[in-house]
């Protein structure tokens, strides 16, 4: 069915028809606009959710790494008769580590590392080797 517009004497579309066309045009543009806005909002929410998940995963990974540092070279106990010495690694909150040497019940920090635990593990190994060379048995 063809649409017929009413024209006035000057050949223009009458006011009611112009108003109706303007309302229909506004509604059709508004419907397209709200759909794309909703899609953009949904996409933004998905990105934010993914970012939150990635941040949570990174925190868990950092916690796991910290636990591995503490467990990997948690403590070496070296004995020679009644003399007991311990070398332990303490994980630091900033992501580094600290090596604690206990001799005669007194703790002393003998080394630290600001990134990872490799340096601390190396120090523990060297100190344990030195003690074994001096006759200690290290476990």
40 occurs within a structural domain: no
Q: Which two tokens stand for residue 46?
A: 């998905």
Is 16 within 8 Å of 5 (Cβ atoms)? no
77 occurs within a structural domain: yes
Its domain, for residue 120, covers 73-138
| Rounded CA separation 68/118 (Å) | 12
Backbone phi, then psi, for 5, in 5-degree steps? -95, 145
47 occurs within a structural domain: no
| Rounded CA separation 31/25 (Å) | 10
39 occurs within a structural domain: no
For the chain, how many structural domains are there in total? 1
17 occurs within a structural domain: no
15 occurs within a structural domain: no
pLDDT for residue 105: 92
pLDDT for residue 22: 74
| Rounded CA separation 2/120 (Å) | 86
Burial pattern 123-135, b for ≥16 Cβ within 10 A else e, equals: bbeebbeebeeee
The pLDDT averaged over each successive group of 10 residues in the chain (139 residues) is 63 69 69 67 79 76 62 78 93 87 94 85 92 94
Q: Please write the tens of the pLDDT for every residue from 35-71.
A: 677 787 887 888 778 767 877 777 777 666 655 555 5
58 occurs within a structural domain: no
89 occurs within a structural domain: yes
């Amino acid at each position: 069915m063809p649409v017929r517009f009413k024209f006035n004497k000057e050949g223009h579309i009458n006011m009611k028809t112009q108003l109706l066309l303007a309302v229909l045009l506004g509604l059709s543009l508004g419907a397209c606009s709200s759909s794309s806005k909703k899609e953009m909002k949904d996409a933004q929410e998905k990105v934010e959710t993914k970012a939150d998940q990635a941040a949570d995963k990174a925190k868990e990974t950092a916690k796991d790494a910290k636990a591995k540092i503490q467990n990997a070279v948690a403590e070496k106990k070296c004995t020679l008769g009644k003399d007991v010495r311990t070398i332990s690694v303490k994980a630091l909150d900033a992501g580094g580590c600290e090596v604690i040497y206990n001799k005669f019940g007194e703790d002393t920090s003998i080394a630290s590392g600001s990134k990872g635990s490799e340096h601390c593990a190396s120090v523990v190994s060297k100190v344990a080797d030195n003690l074994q060379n001096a006759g200690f048995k290290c476990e």
